[in-house]
Amino acid sequence: MRNAAKPLLEVNNLQMHFPVRGGFFRRKIGEVKAVDGVTLSINKGETLGLVGESGCGKSTTGRSILRLLQPTAGQVLLEGEDITSVKGKKLWDIRKDMQMVFQDPYASLNPMQMVGNIVGEPIRNYYPKKKSEEIKQEVADLLKRVGLPEEAYYKYAHEFSGGQRQRIGIARALALKPKLIIADEPVSALDVSVQSQVLNLLNELQDEFQLTYLFIAHDLSVVKHMSNRIGVMYLGQIVEIADKGSIYENPLHPYTQALISAVPDASKVGEKRDRIVLEGDVPSPENPPTGCPFHTRCPKAIDKCSTIKPPLKEVKPGQQVACVLYDESLLKS
């Protein structure tokens, strides 16, 4: 899987800064640096997981890649082609290859439309000449594939449970046979038993349709289950990116270490754990700390951390970390 020649998606130094307006004439008085220099790549057929706490910019990263938001700087390459500033017809064509599965299965489906129409709409949009019979058959096949009953076609979204609605959202994302699916917290609104059904479905579909996933979630165990590689985000930046085994067994960045030790673990009943409990909250992205964004909460912070902003650097094969402690040239400087 990994040795495919070219990555499907490459993101270079992506930035998404939102202006903060206020005062007289609603002048720009500041910036929220939601995504501040994210670099990543995903190979064909691979799943890259993005984890981090709320407000760290995972969703904004996903939306900027899809061009649902216009990134303020940086580059997004899909199959080697720069799509950061394509417009009009070109963008319309490219969107066919990238689809999204949303977090809230209640808000992301139109309550006024039949499920058959919701799933068929992308096909009708992109292939207006297709016969309606043909589209209907395609939609029926899709619904069947995601495990919905045949009669679902003529029902409305409110008649389904949360898990079934998420299946409808997945069927819609599959309708145009995309190459990349960005799944933004697809299971966080679901109960555990239903969550596992949807996760299994996503895995099956990936094998069947050779899909590439960018899987965004805050639940570290879910991300680990789904991904080949994992990127850990903090305040708009990736602080560590590695294959899932290394992230779990040998996390290097102090934030990753704290994050993993904070996950309650059902296998550790009655054992006393040395948990790293972080102090305080995530700082506001409107006024991020200087230097390393994590230094205000980092248990291993040194003086340099407040002045030097460490870049992402390969520390071990396949494991990149943005931390002064692993960067000898920065430590000496």
Partner 1 sequence: MREVSNSQAILEVKNLESAFMIEGEEYNAVDGVSFQVQPGKVVGVVGESGCGKSVMSLSIMGLLPKGIGKVAGGEIIFDGKHLEQLPDQKMNKIRGKEISMIFQEPMTSLNPVFTIGYQLEEVLHNHFKISKEEATKKIIQLLDAVGISRPNKIIKDYPHQLSGGMRQRVMIAMAIACQPKLLIADEPTTALDVTVQAQILELLQDIQRKNDMSIIFITHDLGVVAESCHEVIVMYAGRIVEKASVERLFKGPKHPYTKLLMGAIPRLDETVDELETIEGIVPTLTKMPSVGCRFANRCPQAMKECVEVTPQLKEEESNHEVACLLYEASRPEEEVSR
Quote the tokens at residue 181. Answer: 């699916």
By CB under 8 A, which span of 69-77, 120-128, 193-201, 299-307 interacts with partner 1?
193-201
Query: Angle at Cα 201 formed by Cα 195 and Cα 206, nearest 5°?
Result: 130
Q: How far apart are CA 253 and CA 324, in angstroms?
A: 10
Q: How far apart are CA 64 and CA 110, in angstroms?
A: 23
By CB under 8 A, which span of 4-12, 17-25, 78-86, 273-281 interacts with partner 1?
273-281
Question: CA distances (Å), 251 to each of 25, 206, 255, in order?
Answer: 48, 27, 9
Does residue 196 touch partner 1 according to CB under 8 A?
yes
Contact criterion met (CB below 8 Å) for 199 and 40: no
Does residue 274 touch partner 1 according to CB under 8 A?
no
Q: How far apart are CA 227 and CA 239, in angstroms?
A: 17
For the CB of residue 263, give the shortest distance to partner 1 in the complex, in Å.
6
Does residue 208 touch partner 1 according to CB under 8 A?
no
Does residue 44 touch partner 1 according to CB under 8 A?
no
- Between 222 and 251, how does the x/- string for binding to partner 1 read (CB under 8 A)? x-xxx---------------------x---
The number of beta carbons lying within 10 Å of the beta carbon of residue 156 is: 16
Does residue 220 touch partner 1 according to CB under 8 A?
yes
Q: How far apart are CA 184 and CA 306, in angstroms?
A: 32
Q: Which of residues 162-191 bind partner 1 (CB under 8 A)?
A: 163, 191
Determine the size of the site formed for partner 1 (CB under 8 A).
Answer: 41
Contacts of 142 (CB under 8 A, 6+ apart): 119, 171, 174, 175
Nearest residue (CB) to partner 1, 65 versus 146: 146
For the CB of residue 207, give the shortest distance to partner 1 in the complex, in Å.
11
Cα dihedral angle (298, 304, 305, 311), rounded to 10 degrees? -130
Does residue 287 touch partner 1 according to CB under 8 A?
no
Does residue 333 touch partner 1 according to CB under 8 A?
no
Q: How far apart are CA 275 and CA 294, in angstroms?
A: 18
Nearest residue (CB) to partner 1, 112 versus 269: 269
By CB under 8 A, which span of 3-11, 86-94, 263-271, 309-317 interacts with partner 1?
263-271
By CB under 8 A, which span of 116-124, 174-182, 268-276, 285-293 interacts with partner 1?
268-276
For the CB of residue 142, give the shortest distance to partner 1 in the complex, in Å.
20
For the CB of residue 87, give the shortest distance to partner 1 in the complex, in Å.
37
